[in-house]
């Protein structure tokens, strides 16, 4: 293809068009810059100089001067909420909702943010109303999950159950805590004076049904099955059905041996009342031989000492600690020895030992190990929780003490 000289005329034309476009962009940028209030630039300057509080004050002034800056309002509201300044966050989001010209999408956004403010501030009634107002919005699922958290914190289990059922009608996702909602109802019914055994039975049947639903396509929840078994045992005990009580408790030893420490005390009491303490002690010792745990160790040692005296108890302890060395186990052993002298009047099996001094030295190092811990947030507690008090997550506690997990 031949080169035509007249093509050269396009070079200056293209150059001129590029120059004009650049001039237009610069003028537009300068025009937009002149529109921005001085507070905006002061805020940026404070941010660059690492003065966040003064920067926030400057941006608040911008938001007041220019009500059209909705994105800045949302950013400020979220920032105030993260900083714990709930009154300011609520005021920012309420000012947005009060605008009559706010588009629907941004109005829903503001409603959701305001409800989150109320929730964090502990104003649960207003948070609940705010989330309910989002039922037909694009925030419906998140609002429903927040409502479930509110009902949990209020221990309003019937409404929590209804909300979970609504959630499962919208999305196909497992909600394992549904089992525990029914268990909480059963526990409340059993705690009444007198106990409402009929209501407890209905709640436990519902818990069994929920456990079956949550297990579809997923591994069955060990914690929920153990809790149901423990509550059914408690119900059987109230009804005077000792055989059924033991069956439920012993099913935990067989099916979920990691949780044996949670049911061993109740099992021991059931056999003790029937005058069969030796039988249950033998059962627990066999369980410990297969699945050792610190909680079982403590119960067996204490019961051995009460039934057979110090010698057999210490013999068991020495053998157990030799196979499974544990400072916490030794600490509990010394605690039992010091607090409950044997009925047989035997002296300490460690002649000349200052057990008080020994225990005080060991106890210092074991206090932090004698706890259960949440796998989700790390919250530690001396007792076992089905729901973590720290992060409110369900089934995040291991049934074993910290020393056993290290």
Residue 183 annotated as binding site:
no
CB atoms within 10 A of CB 322: 8
SS3 content of the chain, % helix, strand, coil (to 5): 70, 0, 25
Going by the DSSP 8-state scheme, the letter that residue 141 receives in this structure is: H
Around Cβ 161, how many Cβ atoms within 10 Å? 21
How far apart, in Å, are the Cα atoms of 300 and each of 2, 100, 239, 269? 103, 71, 28, 13
Contact between 176 and 214 (Cβ < 8 Å): yes
The span from the CA of 270 to the CA of 21, in Å, is 89
**Residue 391, annotated ligand binder?**
yes
CA dihedral 153, 154, 156, 161 (to 10 degrees): -20
Strand 372-373 to strand 380-381: parallel, antiparallel, or no bridges (unpaired)?
antiparallel
The tokens for 312 are 């057999």
| Phi, psi for 144 (deg, rounded to 5) | -65, -40
Q: How far apart (Å, rounded) are the C-alpha atoms in residues 299 and 317?
A: 11
Cβ-contact 383, 395 below 8 angstroms: no
**Which residues contact residue 333 at a Cβ distance below 8 angstroms, ignoring those fewer than 6 apart?**
301, 314, 317, 321
Residues 6+ apart with CB under 8 A from 166: 144
User: Where do the DSSP E strands lie in 265-381?
Assistant: 372-373, 380-381
- Reported as half-sphere exposure (CB side, CA atoms, 13 A), residue 207 has a value of 28
Distance between CA 394 and CA 180 in Å, rounded?
8
Whole-Å CA distances, 160 to 144, 185, 205, 231: 10, 11, 17, 20
Q: Which two tokens stand for residue 84?
A: 């714990």
Binding-site positions: 374, 377, 388, 391
Binding residues for Fe cation, by number, are 374, 377, 388, 391
């Amino acid at each position: 293809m031949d080169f035509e000289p007249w093509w050269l005329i396009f070079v200056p034309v293209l150059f001129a068009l590029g120059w004009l476009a650049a001039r237009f962009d610069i003028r537009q940028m300068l025009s937009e810059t002149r529109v921005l209030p001085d507070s905006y630039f002061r805020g940026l300057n404070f941010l660059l100089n690492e003065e966040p509080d003064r920067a926030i004050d400057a941006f608040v002034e911008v938001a007041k001067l220019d009500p059209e800056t909705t994105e800045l309002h949302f950013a400020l509201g979220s920032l105030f909420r993260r900083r714990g300044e709930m009154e300011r966050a609520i005021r920012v989001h309420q000012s947005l909702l009060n605008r009559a010209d706010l588009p629907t999408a941004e109005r829903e956004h503001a409603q959701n943010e305001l409800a989150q403010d109320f929730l964090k501030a502990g104003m649960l009634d207003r948070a609940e109303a705010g989330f309910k107002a989002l039922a037909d919005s694009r925030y419906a699922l998140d609002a429903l999950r927040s409502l479930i958290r509110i009902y949990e914190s209020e221990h309003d289990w019937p409404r929590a159950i209804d909300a979970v059922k609504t959630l499962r009608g919208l999305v196909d996702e497992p909600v394992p805590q549904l089992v525990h909602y029914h268990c909480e109802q059963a526990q409340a019914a059993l705690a009444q004076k007198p106990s409402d055994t009929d209501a407890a039975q209905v709640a436990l049947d519902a818990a069994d049904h929920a456990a079956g639903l949550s297990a579809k396509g997923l591994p069955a929840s060990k914690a929920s099955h153990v809790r149901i078994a423990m509550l059914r045992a408690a119900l059987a005990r109230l009804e005077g059905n000792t055989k059924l009580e033991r069956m439920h408790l012993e099913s935990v030893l067989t099916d979920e041996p990691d949780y044996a420490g949670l049911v061993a005390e109740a099992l021991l009491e059931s056999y003790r009342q029937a005058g069969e303490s030796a039988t249950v002690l033998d059962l627990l010792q066999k369980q410990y031989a297969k699945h050792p745990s610190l909680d079982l160790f403590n119960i067996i040692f204490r019961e051995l000492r009460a039934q057979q005296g110090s010698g057999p108890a210490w013999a068991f302890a020495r053998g157990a600690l030799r196979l499974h060395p544990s400072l916490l186990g030794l600490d509990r052993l010394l605690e039992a020895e010091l607090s409950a002298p044997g009925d047989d009047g035997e002296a300490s099996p460690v002649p000349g030992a200052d057990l008080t001094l020994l225990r005080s030295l060991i106890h210092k190092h074991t206090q932090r190990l004698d706890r259960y811990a949440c796998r989700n947030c790390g919250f530690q507690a001396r007792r076992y929780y089905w729901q973590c008090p720290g992060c409110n997550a369900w089934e995040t506690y291991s049934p074993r003490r910290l020393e056993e997990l290290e």
